[in-house]
Homo-oligomer: A and B are copies of this chain.
Amino acid sequence: MDRDEILKALSHPMRVEILNWLKDPKEHFSSQEHPLEMGVCASQFERCGLSQSTVSAHLATLSRAGLVTTRRVGQWVFYKRNEEAIAAFLKQLSQDL
């Protein structure tokens, strides 16, 4: 768990918002064709208005920081929050700050 890398990942509001959306997929991604239990499909996040490549980069940043997990199913990649990592980070930060 790299605290500084996570803090950098969280320093862009859109990435924080993506994590937020993932807290309640039913509310934010009900339009998704695939069952939400698999996670949220990468393309779903393009609703934020950024281009596909930019969204992909933000998701990669979150993934590198360990804040989300990814699962490839066919041509799709599904994202879920990594609750353990997020909780561990919050605990660490509470001690560090």
Contact = CB atoms under 8 A, between A and B. Distances in A.
Interface of A: 3-4, 7-8, 10-11, 13, 16, 19-20, 86, 89-90, 93-94, 96-97
Contacts of A4: 13, 16
The number of times this chain is found in the oligomer is 2
Nearest to A67: B97
A16 B90 contact: no
Given A7-B10, A10-B11, A90 B97 contact: yes
Contact of A8 (B11, B89, B93, B94): B11
B96 A93 contact: no
A16 B96 contact: yes
Nearest to A90: B94
